[in-house]
Amino acid sequence: MKYIIFGLFTIFTVKLSAQQKQFSKSDNGKFIYYQVVDSQLVDKNILLQRARSFVDLAYKKSMKLESSTDSSVLAKGNMVIDKTILVAGHPSGEISYNLVFEVRQGKYRFWLTDMLFIPYQRDRYGNFVPATTIGVPLERTPGKLGAGAWKDILNSTYNKVEKFGDEFKKYLATNRMEKIKNKAETISTKKW
């Protein structure tokens, strides 16, 4: 009975590990996360305005607008990848990427590409900081010794990118627009 349960557990874990999602490759051989979304209810100009707002306001700390036209937005950004062991986790590095957003009447598409991994290390104060400024492309093939760690980095990167894509689609679909904070009003204590 023990062997049957162990065998079923092994088969179940092998099937789960085989079903992990992976990045697609673009025409030039780079990893890409590509989405085309049908959006018949929202106007083209509103979608473009929401995409700029997403870059400028929602992700202003980790993203920078590179260029914007009447039908596209190009931005560069980075996201931190976590390494989790049971319950405790710490950042293992960051991924820098390019976000391209293009819109037409009735639909839009966006993709993340040119992903580079920058590993983190602890500094003398115990903080996690980038070990180098030069990123490693995610497309590289690791050696035998680093294959397991690289596979974990790819899986956590895909999960983060997929979560980012869902958040981007929700932001474009909703009507909430974050307003730029105006200067603080001066309050006079002399007037009641």
Assigned domain for 115 exists:
yes
Domain assignment of residue 15, yes or no: no
| Token couple for 131 | 């070990």
pLDDT of residue 63: 92
Contact at 8 Å (CB) between 169 and 161? Answer: no
Per-residue pLDDT, averaged over 165-185, amounts to 73
Domain assignment of residue 147, yes or no? yes
Tell me, what's the pLDDT at 34? 93
Please tell me the predicted confidence (pLDDT) of residue 8.
53
* pLDDT value, residue 113: 92
What was the pLDDT predicted at 82? Answer: 86
Closest alpha carbon to 163 in 151, 153, 171: 171
CATH at 133? 3.30.530.80
CB 54 within 8 A of CB 65: no
d(CA 116, CA 149): 16
Q: Is residue 191 part of a domain?
A: no
Residue type, 15: K
Express as a percent the part of the chain with pLDDT over 90: 41
Q: Confidence band (pLDDT; 50, 70, 90) for 28? A: confident
Torsion sign across C-alpha atoms 57, 59, 64, 67: negative
Q: How far apart are CA 93 and CA 126, in angstroms?
A: 15
153 falls within a domain: yes
Report whether pLDDT(181) > 60.
Answer: no
Distance CA 116, CA 112 (A): 11
Most confidently modeled range among 15-24, 56-65, 142-151, 177-186: 56-65
Residue 182 in domain: no
pLDDT at residue number 18: 47
Alpha helices in the chain (DSSP H): 2-18, 44-53, 147-173
Q: Is 159 contained in some domain?
A: yes
Q: Among 72-81, 85-94, 151-160, 180-189, name the one with the lowest average pLDDT.
A: 180-189
User: Where residue 184 falls among pLDDT bands split at 50, 70, 90?
Assistant: low
Q: Which residues contact 12 (CB under 8 A, 6 or more apart)?
A: none
Which domain covers residue 49, as residue numbers?
27-172
Angle at 24 (CA atoms; ends 19, 30), nearest 5 degrees: 140
Q: What mean pLDDT is predicted for residues 104-123?
A: 92
> How many domains would you assign to the chain?
1
CB atoms closer than 10 angstroms to residue 33: 19
Does residue 185 sit within a domain? Answer: no
For residue 95, the tally of other CB atoms under 10 A from its CB is 21
